[in-house]
Structure 1
Amino acid sequence: MSLRYLVSRQSVSKITARLRSQYAAAYGFATIADPIPSSFRSATHHGASKPLKNPRYPIPMRSFSRGIHSAQVVDSVDSEEEEEEDGGINDFLSRFVWIIRQKLNVAYPGCDKETVDGMLMVIVQRVVEEMEQGGFEQMLGERQGAAPSQDFSEDLWRTVWEVSNMVLDDMRKEARKEKMKGFLHAEEVKEMCRFAGEVGIRGDMLRELRFKWAREKMEETEFYESLELLREQEKAQEKGEEEGEVVQAEEDGVTEVNPKDGSLPKRRGKIRYKIYGLDLSDPKWVEVVDRIHEAGEVICPQEPKPISGKCKLVTERILQSNEADDMSPLLAEWVELLQPSRIDWDNLLDQLKEQNTRLYFKVAELVLDEKSLQTNIRDYSMLIDAYAKENNLEDAERILKKMNENGFEPDIFTTTILVHMYSKAGNLEGADQAFKTLKSQGFRPDMKVYNSMIKAYVNANQPKLGESLMREMESRDIKPSKQIYMALLQSFAQLGDVKGAERIVNTMIMAGFQPTLESCSVLVEAYGKAGDPDQARHNFDYIIKVGHKPDDKCTASMIAAYEKKNLLDKALDLLLQLEKDGFEPGVATYTVLVDWLGKLELVSEAEQLLDKIAELGEAPPLQLHVSICDMYARARFEKKALQALGVLEAKKEQLSLDDFETIIKGLMAGGFFQDAQRIRGVMEAQGFVASQQLQLHLVAKSLTSRGHQ
């Protein structure tokens, strides 16, 4: 916009005078009032010995929180603009009430809380009435020397004026600081900072220049905004509109500004005044104001200190270190050179985390004892979480122990991490204890916590406990995921618990999950484990009836169900029927057949199936090696049996208790008693205890062998 247009309408001197008045109002350098005078004790006509009363409110208010909603009459139109205005009003009144309460406590040290609340209620309501009439800000500008109203004494009105100006001053300063933040990140300021960095300006000088450029940019913007405002006022004067309001604004030196700019918010009609329904004597308000003033001490977020010279060399040495190096001397030297604050430590740890995770863990644990870090419980929690994600349970527990020793009790966030960590590690006891602690702290578990605990129960072969948690989720209207349903269904199936499996399937249907090939296949497996091939075949036929084609895993479950009752003819008939429909057996089906034929000592037929498995080109499962070892041991093929046994010993960590017992029984049946005793030792070293039947069998075999000797 050209200045020529404005100059033609007004003289330059008049423009300058207006700008100065507007800038004075915008910057808001009002003088903060002196402490409350002793005459404040005569603030009312009723004296200090009685509760403060208002002629309009003859009965004293018993509690401010009870009467705080008396001004919550809302306009018929509830727009976003009104909500913004109410937010500004609440901000002003919250600050005003906090300061007035302090002054009342000083002036009336002998009054109880009820009396102070009553006085405060009357004062606030009177101020709100003035604001509703639109005359309160005008009163602040003009009427400080006027005679007191019939409600309050002169001293009380003077205190109200002083506190109001103090609050407005704080709001204006805060608004300017917020405005300054935006200009600090303006593109032009960033460009000048980049240029300054290229020519060698660093550190404190660059920071000072950045603030200087941002302030100049803000002042330039405000100047042009003021010119635009003057132009609009001139247009209004020419048309004869709002002439009285413009003149009055010039005389008062007060311009209506958005509440965000720091002037007293204006509101037509009744004010929606509330402070979140809380008693204003609550210590929370002290904390709120403290946070406001703490936030006002900085204009922009804190930045790490610039690192240069010897400190830069030490930093590079830290970043290039190895996990095995002793980091204590380097960190001590770095602390001495930089005198770091928390933001500096965070910056260093972030760099380590990007470059070397293991070194990050080591340094992060070392700096927990640094005073400059100002260690809090979140530092311990984040480190425990990082170790848990790396499946490093021992280190996570060590940090947890260190946290307790330093006086930090696990909070809800930390305990949630422990639930996930122990569940993932398969430590049901730890997960269950953490889960109970979480609930005792009043936390209502969410979907992720429930999922972790249910998986922990499933992995521990306790699906009934997992099912009870699932019912708890449903009672809280938290819908379990399909993965949770399937995990519970699979767990019941592996245990042969048909009733449990059917309950889960019915629950899935009620939850909106229709039966699928996967869920039906698990039911076939459940009936097979329970030794009921007829019901397994019924579910298998249902799969075909609804249009699904049984896959290799489903067919293997059906063959395994027939194996339980040794119904080989029915199994072969089923396979022939499926092959006519285009089914080709896979590794899972062949594995079940090899195990079955091996138990029947049909070695040559089983070896033919092994050749077909080799033709498929897939890696044979561990269960197949167990079946092969058992088959060759029973058939007394020593060389092949020992070869298969060597493969299994190499994978001993993957073997289950049932696998160990199958191997040992097969070795004993084939006369390989010494190998059976050796495998028993391997089993016990893995933490398994032999079943009572196997122990009796081993003892009997040992006595028999001694008798022959």
Structure 2
Amino acid sequence: MDDSAIYFLAIVGVFFLQKVAIFENRELGFRPLLAVSNVAVHQKGSAENQVNDKPRYKWVKIGSDVTEEQQRAILKLPPKMINRCKALMQQIICYSPEKGSVSLLLEAWVKSMKPERADWLAVLKELDRLNHPMYLEVAELSLLAESFEANIRDYTKIIHGYAKQNRLKEAESVFLSMKSRGFTCDQVTLTALVHMYSKAGNLKLAEDTFEEMKLLGVPLDKRSFGSIIMAYVRAGKLGQGEALLKEMEEQEIYAGPEVYKALLRAYSMSGDSKGAQRVFDTIQLAGVIPDATICGLLMNAYIMAGQLSEACITFENMRRVSIKPNDKCITLLLKAYETENKLSKALDVLMDLERDGVVLGREASELLARWFKRLGVVGEVELVLRDYASNCTLLN
């Protein structure tokens, strides 16, 4: 056999043994994240070492070499947390990539501590409480461990976690992984996806996912409707969002206050007073009591539409039902009166507010000062600014 043939067989043999080393890492169900770097090291050794030497996590006992910050974090671990969970938490708190991948850390923990689902959940709960940067990575890797006994809600939590951070690719990857492992999509999971696509501004995917939810044949709840309505609001398709609100009403389902406010705000900012008034009426029919913020949005819609008298009437209705106006509402009222040059009327309202204990805020005070300055009333400007400064001192 010539030298070239011997060299070729040697290369094939090394490649085969490398594959053996890689697949052996699937023993506990974790992905072999360090397999590539491990193969590079194996190539320097003998064929026998390549088979026996597997990538490992360097599990070093936590001692005096930890930093003060790490020590404080360790001391804050729940006293009732059992030792095997504390052992993993200490390793995570003191983790560095030089010790090995997170996947191998968890594999080492599983092999030595034999955790049950309750142990996994205790660790994840603590990482979530600490808002630890490794929380989602550990949570996703835990899905691969048999001892974790993953269910569909575990996947949903991770999808929702990635969605909150606008990490769409990771969320979609977990979703596809969930489906590949035979879990059936349900309303909760799909709602999380609609919410994610909505936040990301991807209306098409949000609509497609919402339609998939409808095909499940189960009644949709306010969270499902709310997520797609918010998608329409963010896309500027307010009519479609409002149509869904009506569909909800017909089914006697009512959205959360934040959904109504978002739709009202969108109509307000675009100066669509009719749309704003419709949503304002819908809010009350849904049993949501209007506050100063909601009333201010309606006032703003009227002012942007040039309907100043309606804005003033909205303010008067607020006071009639004992809703205390905030600084934004007062500023909008002053803007309406300034546009119509009704200084006397504005001062009358301000005196009434003062008798009721309502203090002018920064925005309203500055608008009033500019108005006085434009009229050439310098003394009154100084008085307004001085009163605002004294009010701020009292409030602080």
The normalised TM-score by structure 1 is 0.36
Q: Say if 1:587 and 1:322 are closer, same or farther in 2 by CA, change over 3 A.
A: same
Shift of 1:601: 11
Identify the residue that residue 3 of structure 2 maps to in structure 1: none
2: CA distance, partners of 1:375 / 1:550: 51
Shift of 1:474: 0.8
2: CA distance, partners of 1:512 / 1:465: 22
Identify the residue that residue 56 of structure 1 maps to in structure 2: none
Q: Is the 8 A contact 2:159 2:174 kept in 1?
A: no
Identify the residue that residue 400 of structure 1 maps to in structure 2: 172
1:411 maps to 2:185: yes
Shift of 1:432: 3.7
2: CA distance, partners of 1:606 / 1:436: 61
1: CA distance, partners of 2:351 / 2:240: 44
2: CA distance, partners of 1:481 / 1:402: 28
Q: Say if 1:359 and 1:611 are closer, same or farther in 2 by CA, change over 3 A.
A: same
1:446 maps to 2:221: yes
Q: Say if 1:434 and 1:573 are closer, same or farther in 2 by CA, change over 3 A.
A: farther
With a CA cutoff of 8 Å and minimum separation of 6, indicate the structure with the bigger relative contact order: 1
Give the number of equivalent residue pairs.
299
| DSSP 3-state at the match of 2:116 | helix
Shift of 1:476: 1.1
- Alpha-carbon displacement from aligned partner over 1:83-138 (angstroms, at most 9, x marks no partner): xxxxxxxxxxxxxxxxxxxxxxxxxxxxxxxxxxxxxxxxxxxxxxxxxxxxxxxx
- Alpha-carbon displacement from aligned partner over 1:267-321 (angstroms, at most 9, x marks no partner): xxxxxxxxxxxxxxxxxxxxxxxxxxxxxxxxxxxxxxxx99xx89975764554
| DSSP 3-state at the match of 2:133 | helix
Q: Is the 8 A contact 2:120 2:142 kept in 1?
A: no
State which of 335, 356, 361 in structure 2 corresponds to 1:586.
Answer: 361
1: CA distance, partners of 2:197 / 2:126: 26
What one-letter code is carried by the residue in structure 1 that aligns with 2:350?
A: E
Unmatched tracts of structure 2, length 5 or more? 1-81
Identify the residue that residue 472 of structure 1 maps to in structure 2: 247
Shift of 1:369: 4.0
Identify the residue that residue 153 of structure 1 maps to in structure 2: none
What one-letter code is carried by the residue in structure 1 that aligns with 2:344?
A: D
1:489 maps to 2:261: no
Q: Is the 8 A contact 1:559 1:592 kept in 2?
A: yes
| DSSP 3-state at the match of 2:247 | helix
1: CA distance, partners of 2:89 / 2:325: 61
1:499 maps to 2:274: yes
Unmatched tracts of structure 1, length 5 or more? 1-306, 619-709
Mapping of 1:224-235 within 5 angstroms?
A: none
Q: Is the 8 A contact 2:268 2:297 kept in 1?
A: yes
Mapping of 1:99-248 within 5 angstroms?
A: none
- Alpha-carbon displacement from aligned partner over 1:29-82 (angstroms, at most 9, x marks no partner): xxxxxxxxxxxxxxxxxxxxxxxxxxxxxxxxxxxxxxxxxxxxxxxxxxxxxx
Q: Say if 1:401 and 1:313 are closer, same or farther in 2 by CA, change over 3 A.
A: closer
Shift of 1:540: 3.4
State which of 101, 108, 116 in structure 2 corresponds to 1:344.
Answer: 116
1: CA distance, partners of 2:285 / 2:86: 66
What one-letter code is carried by the residue in structure 2 that aligns with 1:448?
A: R
What one-letter code is carried by the residue in structure 1 that aligns with 2:138?
A: V
| DSSP 3-state at the match of 2:157 | helix
Identify the residue that residue 278 of structure 1 maps to in structure 2: none
1:530 maps to 2:310: no
What one-letter code is carried by the residue in structure 2 that aligns with 1:361?
A: L
The normalised TM-score by structure 2 is 0.59
- Alpha-carbon displacement from aligned partner over 1:572-596 (angstroms, at most 9, x marks no partner): 2222112332434322312444676
Q: Say if 1:314 and 1:506 are closer, same or farther in 2 by CA, change over 3 A.
A: closer
2: CA distance, partners of 1:497 / 1:515: 19
| DSSP 3-state at the match of 1:464 | helix
Q: Is the 8 A contact 2:372 2:381 kept in 1?
A: no
Q: Is the 8 A contact 1:528 1:536 kept in 2?
A: yes
1: CA distance, partners of 2:385 / 2:367: 11
| DSSP 3-state at the match of 1:503 | helix
* Structure possessing the higher radius of gyration over alpha carbons: 1
Q: Say if 1:543 and 1:321 are closer, same or farther in 2 by CA, change over 3 A.
A: closer
2: CA distance, partners of 1:602 / 1:561: 20
Identify the residue that residue 345 of structure 2 maps to in structure 1: 574
2: CA distance, partners of 1:519 / 1:452: 20
Let me know the Cα RMSD of the aligned residues. 4.2
